[in-house]
Amino acid sequence: MSNFIREAVSKEKRRYQKFGFDLDLSYITPRIITMGFPSEKFEAAYRNPFPDVMNFLDTFHGGHYKVYNFCSEKPYDGDHKIKGEYCYFPFDDHNAPQFEIIPKLCKDVDEFLARDPKNVIALHCKAGKGRTGLMCACLLIYFRDCLHAWEAVDFYGNARTYDKKGVTIPSQLKYVGYWSSLLLAHLPYGQRKLKLVSVTMKPIPKINEDLRIKMFLWKTLQCDKDLGTVKNTRGKDSKIKREPDLDLFDKVYDELKQKNPNVTVREAVCAWDWKMREQVGSDKFGEDSVTFNVENVNLMGDVKMDVYSQKLGELFTVWFNSWFVKDNTLVLTKMELDKGVATTSSWHQTSH
What residues are labeled active site?
125
Helix (H, G, I), strand (E, B) or coil at 147: coil
CB atoms within 10 A of CB 295: 8
Residue type, 255: E
What is the bridge-based pairing of β-strands 313-321 and 346-351? unpaired
Q: What single DSSP character describes residue 281?
A: -
Say if residues 307 and 349 touch (Cβ distance below 8 Å).
no
Distance CA 302, CA 174 (A): 12
The DSSP H or E segment spanning 273 is strand 264-275
Rounded Cα distance, 248 and 74, in Å: 10
Sign of CA dihedral 87, 91, 97, 98: negative
Q: Which of 333, 327, 335 is nearest to 346 (CA)?
A: 333
The number of residues making up the chain comes to 352
Q: Whole-angstrom Cα distance, residue 65 to residue 331?
A: 42
User: Is 38 in a helix, a strand, or coil?
Assistant: strand
Closest-CA residue to 21 (of 61, 51, 42): 51
